[in-house]
Amino acid sequence: MNYIVISPYYPQNFQKFSIELAKQGITVLGIGQEPYDQLGHELQEAMTEYFRVSNLEDLDEVKRAVAFLFYKHGPIDRIESQNEYWLEMDAQLRTQFNVFGPKNEDIEKTKFKSKMKEIFRTAGVPVTPGRVVTTDEEVEEAVERLGLPLIAKPDNGVGAAATYKLEEPRSVREFLANWDRSVAYFLEPFVTSTEMCTFDGLVDAEGNIVWATSFDYTDTPLNILLQQKGFAYYTQMEVDPLLRQYGEAAVKAFGMKERFFHIEFFRNGDDYIAVEYNNRPAGAFAIDVYNFGYSRDLFRDYASLVAGNGFPEADGPVNHALAIARRDRFNYQISKEELLERYAANLKASLRMPEAFAELQGNDMFIFTSDDLDVIHNIIRDVETLAE
């Protein structure tokens, strides 16, 4: 099997993706813009060939790289990055070269919030109503029909970037003053719940879920970004049956195959409201958090699945796994050194967040595990409490 990995070097914790594919006997062919000497010995050894492009953003240049690898190594079986940033290009390459996996028409389902909402709705998963707006008149109509407060997000966009909260007429006017009319926006009622959770997992080549989990955010990503608050989330040891029901229905409706998925929900009393279907694993160090909580190596497990060797059993017990960050700009009541000493038995990793994720998620990231949710909550309190 010939497997092209887009951007095998970055992010660094995704390098293991290529390494584990190679261990399964898969021919790994990398395309990236970093110099070969920068890749490091282990990643170099994993790849049969690495094609360096001058600009990974240049689709034509990347297409020429794929064509060369196709000519030299024979048919390409997979093209994948696992990275949100490259998902659209991955799909364009698969479409151009007729490679297994989501094509252009498939990626539309998760690219536009308006289309995503409709798929959730047809799957029987609760969502808020919403409207796509491209003109000032459509904004005014949406405000009149949906009422305030509203959340305004680019219809084609990810995460909390370029998001506005429209609470009163003044904030609507501010949005209109800042809005580039070439970007279609999706307006929907603001959900007052600050309880956000996920249904995440992995599907095989037939679209069957082989592994699933759920984690809770301590606050919404939008609040964290706007208020520069601490960022934290922790995995659940068991998935709530209703959340699982909605998540499984959504996965079936979106119809993706041999992929990770990351679906965000608001918890709304005893029910849930779907927010977004992400056609990849959760970002930054989430894979590492899953691995520590579930005693797994998910890139190894994914590679085994791709190679046709099934999905391996876990290596050990299931625990809660907590990812929690601090920001350099704040002073905290408990020093980093004291914190790591106090919870040394629970600490799994102390990491520096890549700059690309720092604004949303903070600068220092810690991963802890425990089978006791009270311990997890104590750690959150001690990590986040600011000095007086």
Coil/strand/helix, residue 97: helix
- Average confidence (pLDDT) over 345-358: 88
Give residue-wise pLDDT tens across range 18-30. Answer: 999 999 999 999 9
Q: Please report whether residue 124 resides in a domain.
A: no
Count Cβ atoms below 10 Å from residue 214 Cβ, excluding itself.
20
Residue 227 backbone phi and psi in degrees, to 5: -100, 0
Q: How far apart are CA 214 and CA 228, in angstroms?
A: 24
Same domain, 176 and 321: no
Same domain, 70 and 175: no
Q: Which of 174, 189, 204 is the last residue of a domain?
A: 189
The gap from C-alpha 362 to its chain's centroid, in whole angstroms, comes to 16
Domain that holds residue 244: 196-384
Same domain, 60 and 166: no
Average pLDDT, the chain: 94
Same domain, 91 and 148: no
Same domain, 333 and 222: yes
Q: Which residue has the higher pLDDT, 18 or 220?
A: 18
- From 360, 361, 328, 324, select the one nearest 343 (Cα to Cα): 324
- Average confidence (pLDDT) over 104-121: 94
Give residue-wise pLDDT tens across range 64-77. Answer: 999 999 999 999 99
In this structure, what CATH number is given to the domain that contains residue 40? Answer: 3.40.50.20
Task: Quote the pLDDT of residue 187.
Answer: 97
In angstroms, the Cα distances linking 62 to 33, 65, 81, 249 are 10, 5, 13, 35
Residues 107, 263, 17, 359, CA torsion sign: positive
- Average confidence (pLDDT) over 82-96: 95
Same domain, 255 and 365: yes
Q: Please report whether residue 340 resides in a domain.
A: yes
Same domain, 86 and 206: no
Task: Quote the pLDDT of residue 163.
Answer: 87
- From 283, 269, 165, select the one nearest 215 (Cα to Cα): 283
Same domain, 152 and 285: no
In this structure, what CATH number is given to the domain that contains residue 168? Answer: 3.30.1490.20
Same domain, 180 and 201: no
- Average confidence (pLDDT) over 206-217: 97
Q: Please report whether residue 214 resides in a domain.
A: yes
- From 219, 247, 140, 256, select the one nearest 187 (Cα to Cα): 140
Q: Pairing state of beta strands 196-203 and 164-166?
A: unpaired
Q: Which of 189, 204, 230 is the last residue of a domain?
A: 189
Percent of the chain's residues with pLDDT above 90:
87
For the entire predicted model, the pTM comes to 0.92
Same domain, 137 and 40: no
- Average confidence (pLDDT) over 262-284: 94
Q: Please report whether residue 276 resides in a domain.
A: yes
Q: Please report whether residue 123 resides in a domain.
A: no
pLDDT at 5 over 60: yes
Q: Pairing state of beta strands 47-52 and 27-32?
A: parallel
In this structure, what CATH number is given to the domain that contains residue 350? Answer: 3.30.470.20
Same domain, 203 and 288: yes
Q: Please report whether residue 118 resides in a domain.
A: no
Specify the number of domains making up the chain: 3
Q: Please report whether residue 112 resides in a domain.
A: no
Q: Please report whether residue 114 resides in a domain.
A: no
Same domain, 267 and 379: yes
- Banded pLDDT at 158 (limits 50, 70, 90): low
Q: Which of 86, 101, 116 is the last residue of a domain?
A: 101
Q: How far apart are CA 183 and CA 142, in angstroms?
A: 16
Give residue-wise pLDDT tens across range 313-331. Answer: 999 999 999 999 999 999 9
Would you list the DSSP string of 273-289? Answer: EEEEEESS--STTHHHH
Give residue-wise pLDDT tens across range 38-63. Answer: 999 999 999 999 999 999 999 999 99
